[in-house]
């Protein structure tokens, strides 16, 4: 199985009050529990069920995912730049594992 | 004798019949509502006080591959402390489970929009339900034609 790898695109620089777009993608199979493998066996359910974004420690965006979300979940959302800081992204797997990533943004 | 028997039966049966009819009506109501689990969920969350307005929900009219259907929305809102969209729900009425996603917004975002990709098992309606901070709900729906379904199986 391919390794689970989060990726994100945050503009490095932004001006004050500019609405920027943040794009994230995590490589994850998102097994819905309904698919079958080559031998006709059911693949157990395993999805990313939660996605959280914090900016300077404060939660700004959250998403609860269900099996109806595609493989390699792509999530894009806006953010209003006000101050320089760090984004912390966190994905939670069904098996309890957490994948995180952080990105810096400079506001001038 | 025959006449009396008939009367007793009809009187008792009247009550049974009435309760029977009541139960059937009650259950048939659920039976009719069951296929559209998405609408049922919307009613449950919004406590039946939902207003259908034209929110911007961008889904393709025809999706060739049901495995990767891009869905995005943009709800007009000032996103200030007094007036902002708190939560946005996505539902699909033809999928094995109606829930698709739940987004939690905050005032730091400046706009209420998001993009993601979802699976659609067949041609169906996609619903968007928005919850405002003042407790109001608004919804919109859009039909997507799916050529190849994408829920496995």
Note whether B30 and B43 are same-domain residues.
no
Q: Are residues B28 and B55 in the same domain?
A: no
pLDDT in tens, B137-152: 999 999 999 988 776 5
B80 and B8 share a domain? no
Q: Are residues B29 and B59 in the same domain?
A: no
Q: Which residue in the block uniquely carries the two structure tokens 């109806």?
A: A68
Which CATH number characterizes residue A46's domain? 2.60.40.10
pLDDT category at B32 given cuts 50, 70, 90 is: very low
Quick one: pLDDT at residue B19? 65
Say if residue B42 is in the same domain as residue B11: no
- Residues of chain A below pLDDT 70: 1-2
Worst-scoring range by mean pLDDT, B6-10, B29-33, B43-47, B48-52? B29-33
Question: Do B3 and B46 lie in a common domain?
Answer: no
Q: How many CB pairs under 8 A join A and B?
A: 100
Within-domain flag for B153: no
Number of domains in chain B: 2
Mean pLDDT value across residues B88-95: 90
pLDDT, position B33: 44
What local confidence, expressed as pLDDT, does residue B88 receive? Answer: 93
For the cut 80, the answer to whether the pLDDT of residue B13 exceeds it is no
pLDDT at B22: 57
State whether residue B95 sits within 8 Å of chain A by CB.
yes
Q: Are residues B85 and B120 in the same domain?
A: yes
Q: B96: distance to nearest CA of chain A, Å?
A: 9
Same domain, B88 and B121: yes
Same domain, B56 and B119: yes
Neighbours of A94 (CB within 10 A): 16
Q: Are B119 and A58 in contact (CB < 8 Å)?
A: no
How far from chain centre, in Å, is Cα A106? Answer: 21
Residue A67: its chain B contacts at CB < 8 A?
96-97, 119
Minimum CA–CA partner of A74 in chain B: B116
Q: Which residues form the domain of B30?
A: 1-34
Per-residue confidence at B27, pLDDT binned at 50, 70, 90? low
**Cβ <8 Å between A76 and B109:** no
Give me the pLDDT at residue B94, please.
Answer: 87
- In terms of domains, do B41 and B30 share one? no
How many domains does chain A divide into?
A: 1
Within-domain flag for B106: yes
Q: What is the CATH number of the domain that holds B49?
A: 2.60.40.2470
- Mutate which of A22, A28, A58, A68 to disrupt the B interface (most B C-beta within 10 Å)? A68
Sheet holding B69-75, edge to edge: A5-9, A19-27, A74-80, B112-118, B69-75, B56-58
Q: Using DSSP, how many helices (H) and how many strands (E) does chain A show?
A: 0, 8
Q: Supply B51's token pair.
A: 């207003």
CA distances from A35 to A54, A75, B44, B145 (A): 33, 23, 29, 22
Which of A17, A61, A74 has its CB closest to that of B116? A74
At B153, the pLDDT band (50, 70, 90 cuts) reads: very low
Domain housing A68? 5-107
Are A59 and B68 inside 8 Å of each other by CB? no
**Cβ atoms within 10 A of the Cβ of B10, count?**
10
pLDDT tens-digit readout, B95-141: 888 889 999 999 988 889 999 999 998 899 999 999 999 888 999 99
């Amino acid at each position: 199985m391919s390794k689970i790898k989060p990726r994100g695109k945050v503009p490095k620089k932004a001006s004050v009050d500019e609405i920027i777009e943040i794009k994230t993608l995590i490589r994850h199979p998102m097994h819905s529990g309904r698919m079958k493998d080559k031998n006709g066996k059911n693949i157990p359910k395993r999805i990313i069920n939660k996605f959280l974004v914090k900016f300077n420690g404060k939660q700004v965006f959250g998403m609860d995912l269900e099996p109806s979300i595609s493989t390699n979940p792509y999530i894009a959302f806006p953010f209003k730049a006000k101050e320089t800081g760090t984004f912390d992204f966190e994905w939670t797997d069904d098996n309890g594992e957490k994948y995180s990533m952080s990105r810096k943004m400079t506001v001038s | 004798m025959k006449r009396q028997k008939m009367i007793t039966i009809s009187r008792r049966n009247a009550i049974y019949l009435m309760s029977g009819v009541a139960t059937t009506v009650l259950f048939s109501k659920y039976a009719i509502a069951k296929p559209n689990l998405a609408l049922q969920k919307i009613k449950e969350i919004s406590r039946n006080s939902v207003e259908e307005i034209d929110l911007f929900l961008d889904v393709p009219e025809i999706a060739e591959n049901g495995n990767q259907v891009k869905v995005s929305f943009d709800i007009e809102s000032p996103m200030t402390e007094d007036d902002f969209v708190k939560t946005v729900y996505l539902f699909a009425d033809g999928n094995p489970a109606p829930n698709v996603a739940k987004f939690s917004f905050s005032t730091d975002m400046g706009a209420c929009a998001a993009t993601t990709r979802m699976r659609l098992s067949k041609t169906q309606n996609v619903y968007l339900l928005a919850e405002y901070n003042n407790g109001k709900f608004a919804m919109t729906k859009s039909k997507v034609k799916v050529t190849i379904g994408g829920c496995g199986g």
